[in-house]
Amino acid sequence: MPTYEYRCEECGHAFELFQSITAEPERECPECGKLKVVRLIGCGAALIFKGSGFYETDYRSENYKKAAQADKGTSSSTKGKASKSDSASKATSKKPKAEAKTTT
Tens of pLDDT, residue by residue over 37-54, are 999 987 766 676 666 666
Q: What is this structure's pTM?
A: 0.42
H-type helices in 1-104, by residue range? Answer: 62-103
Phi and psi at 54, nearest 5°, equal -110, 165
Phi-psi label, residue 50: left if phi above 0, alpha if psi -120 to 50, beta otherwise:
beta
- Does 91 score more than 70 pLDDT? no
Average pLDDT over residues 7-24: 92
Q: How is residue 59 annotated by DSSP? A: T
